[in-house]
Amino acid sequence: AEKLGEKAVKTRANVLGEEHPSTLTSMANLASTYSNQGRWKEAEGLGVRVMKTRKRVLGEEHPSTLTSMANLAATYSNQGRWKEAEEPEVRVMKTRKRERER
């Protein structure tokens, strides 16, 4: 899964560009693979990169951005880094609640 994920990221980045939504999805999937392997530093680095890019390109309240924030919060909490996980998780919950109330 890891090698396929890395190849998908590289191919999509070359063909579509590093900020294309499909490239970012492949990057998020690779970060998830790293997380599942317990490779927290790599998962976190890629997760932060995806989240920051999605915030800039799609906006802070876009569903894909919120998913990236939730994934990053999960990466932190899986390491017992509760304080770091709290801020993005609370932000995601508040934004999604506000969206449902509209």
Task: Give yes or no for a contact between 16 and 37, defined as CB atoms under 8 angstroms apart.
Answer: no
Contacts of 34 (CB under 8 A, 6+ apart): 2, 40, 42, 43, 46
pLDDT per residue as tens digits for the range 64-99: 999 999 999 999 999 999 999 999 999 999 999 998
- pLDDT score for 1: 82
pLDDT per residue as tens digits for the range 26-66: 999 999 999 999 999 999 999 999 999 999 999 999 999 99
Taken in order of first residue, the domains within the chain and their CATH numbers are: 2-100 (1.25.40.10)
